[in-house]
Amino acid sequence: MFTKNVHLYLFNSIFKRGIHDNKSLIDNCIEVKNRNPRNLERLLIARKPQGYHLEKQFRNFWHKLQISPYQRYIVAEIIHFQNGPVISASSNEWALKKLLYRKYDSMAYIALGQVLAQRCLESGITEIYFNETPNNKVSLLLKELKKKDIILHESDRYIHPYPWSLFRPEKPWETHE
């Protein structure tokens, strides 16, 4: 009974304002506020920092995977080009440390890859830039990321073509099914 009264109240208040369908709702919309700061990156429209071509550190990415092996443990981080580390996982964390025999062997890299992939998927990051040459242990971590459908290269930025351009790339925000 309570939910029926709430629905009737909401229904009546919407119709009192004169909004009856989606078209009128869009027409009456004064301002749209996007609360996701990385929405343009997901649409492949945001600019990637390019830096200078003589720089040693390559900066043409939105999210980059950085793996830091220390003497007794490993840290893997996803770094955003503006905000720094967004996601991190370490074999020194209590939950992983209790499951591992050693915090720096090949099983530690596999477990770290599984945890990092899970955290990436939970936060909505599916594409990561990684260009270093992996050794045997790092390749195990990368293999676990690929198993969980994390792509290890970022898509190119969409650049609107000129009217006279021969090549017209597909717009990333339009889906054709």
Question: Is 143 or 37 the better-scoring residue by pLDDT?
Answer: 143
**Contact between residue 104 and residue 111 where contact means Cβ atoms under 8 Å apart:** no
The side-by-side arrangement of strands in the sheet containing 63-69 is 63-69, 74-80, 84-90
Main-chain dihedrals φ then ψ at residue 121, nearest 5 degrees: -65, -35
Which pTM value belongs to this model?
0.73
Pull the structure tokens for residue 134: 């992996």
Q: How distant, in Å, are the alpha carbons of 10, 29, 73 from that of 15?
A: 9, 15, 61
Q: What is the pLDDT of residues 129-144, one digit of tens each?
A: 998 888 898 999 999 9
pLDDT class of 18 with cuts at 50, 70, 90: low
Q: Is 113 helix (H, G, I), strand (E, B) or coil?
A: helix
Provide mean pLDDT across the span 26-48: 77
